[in-house]
Amino acid sequence: MVSILVPCYNEEKTLPLFYDEVCKVTQQMAQYDFELIFVNDGSRDHTAEVIEQFRQKDGRVSFVNLSRNFGKENAMLAGFDHACGHCMIIMDADLQDPPALIPQMLEAWEQGYEDVYARRSSRGRESWLRKTLSLLFYKILDHSTRFEILQNVGDFRLLDRKCIDALRSMRETDRYTKGMFCWIGFRKKEIVFDRGNRVAGQSNWNYFSLFNLAIEGITSFTTAPLRLASIMGTLIALVAFALLLFYLTKTLIFGDPVQGFPTLITIILFLGGVQLLCMGILGEYIARIFNETKRRPPYLVSDYKRCNDL
């Protein structure tokens, strides 16, 4: 049994095209039983109705309707909890991740690999700024953690049941699944592909959403910002002490009065900005502690229907 997990949010235009492409690929692999599990993450369009139509004509289709939009990270966790396959392939519905790679992933899984991930050799239709910021974020996160963070690798991958169970056991409220894939380890294999363009509709990921995801990734997998704040405070204190000695010596020896009102105001504003920055870093980590202590479920299910083959 192979589960294909598809998190969906406002994907009514892309889902029929995606479903047709997946059916073409899976029909050629009769040696596997497939489960298509769609997680509807509180869509506001007719995504739920489209998935229900798939289920009526295809007994392999399962779906999970969440009670509201909990975000893609939690939608994937819902898929991990409800998938029944011996392995799982995670795909987006926009066909930027080609279903044609499914046979190659399953072949690597049969060879004993437990995490077969797809690395993008090209990122499709994407602005230069977005591409540059994404690569910069991965470099920062990779250099600030004790384990390797894979660059140009998204959620498109095959996971063995061992990996699925490991990810299910991690019930964090603020999730960054791309980091979790690397953290759990297991035997990995890379497949390189050219990422296509979105076939229909619009992406739900704007710059603000990507910035929030970057903050989640950094605060979930490294305490480097806290250490950076400590180092910054130490350096500023040393510089301030050195300036104090300089001006004190200059005044005592040369009798030179201390002047420079603009300089004094600039230094005060600079130190105030650094303090606010450090307080903001502390606040991000405290907010995550606050969210974890509430122990709320990562998602709530309003409706779940299992495929007819199980």
Tens digits of residue pLDDT in 204-240: 555 566 666 666 666 666 666 777 777 777 777 777 7
Which residues, listed in sequence order, are joined to residue 203 by a DSSP beta bridge? none
Q: What is the per-residue burial (b if ≥16 Cβ within 10 Å, else e) of 263-300? A: eeeeeeeeeeeeeeebeebeeeeeebeeeeeeeeebbe
Between 268 and 40, the higher pLDDT residue: 40
Between 273 and 286, the higher pLDDT residue: 286
- Asked if pLDDT for residue 261 goes beyond 70, the answer is no
- Asked if pLDDT for residue 187 goes beyond 80, the answer is yes
pTM: 0.68
Indicate the residue type of 301: V
Least confident of 25-34, 65-74, 277-286: 277-286
pLDDT over 90 percentage in the chain: 0
Indicate the average pLDDT of the chain: 77
- Asked if pLDDT for residue 278 goes beyond 80, the answer is no
Place of tokens 């894979």: 150
196 three-state secondary structure: coil
With a CB cutoff of 8 Å and minimum separation 6, the contacts of 65 are 40, 48, 301, 302, 303, 304
Indicate the residue type of 195: R
- Asked if pLDDT for residue 118 goes beyond 50, the answer is yes
* Band of residue 310 on the pLDDT scale cut at 50, 70, 90: very low
Q: Where are the alpha helices (DSSP H) in 175-260?
A: 177-183, 207-221, 224-254
Least confident of 169-183, 186-200, 280-294: 186-200
